[in-house]
């Protein structure tokens, strides 16, 4: 019996977005290791060459800040009237001044 698209095989299962027990346990363990070693980490970071320190900090930022996603705007000019195209061109030309 195949699954129906959009219907779970286990409707009473874990809700969407909830964290599994294993994931939660791992996060707690990693946080504990970080908390217990923060002073040593800061000391090691200070001991790095400036270039290596910056690279390490940039890699750590990936965990602290959300990554920005590329946004692509496409304008289908064929759907615009001649007046709308002229307005857009006029706006672009004003921005260049």
The two most distant CA atoms of the chain are separated, in Å, by 66
* Confidence (pTM): 0.46
- What is the C-alpha separation between 95 and 90, in angstroms, rounded? 9
State the burial class of residue 12 (Cβ atoms within 10 Å of its Cβ: 0-12, 13-18, 19+). exposed
User: Over its length of 97 residues, how does the chain's per-residue pLDDT go in tens digits?
Assistant: 577 777 767 777 777 778 788 888 998 998 999 999 999 999 999 999 999 999 999 998 888 887 778 778 777 878 889 898 899 888 888 866 5
The answer to whether 82 and 89 are in contact (CB under 8 A) is: no
């Amino acid at each position: 019996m195949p699954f129906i698209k959009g219907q779970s095989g286990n409707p009473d299962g874990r809700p969407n977005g909830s964290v599994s027990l294993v994931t939660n346990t791992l996060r707690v363990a990693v946080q504990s290791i970080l908390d217990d070693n923060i002073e040593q980490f800061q000391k090691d970071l200070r001991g790095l060459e400036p270039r290596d320190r910056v690279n390490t900090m940039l890699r750590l930022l990936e965990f602290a800040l959300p990554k920005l996603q590329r946004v692509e705007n496409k304008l289908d000019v064929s759907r615009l009237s001649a007046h709308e195209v002229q307005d857009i061109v006029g706006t672009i030309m004003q921005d260049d001044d």
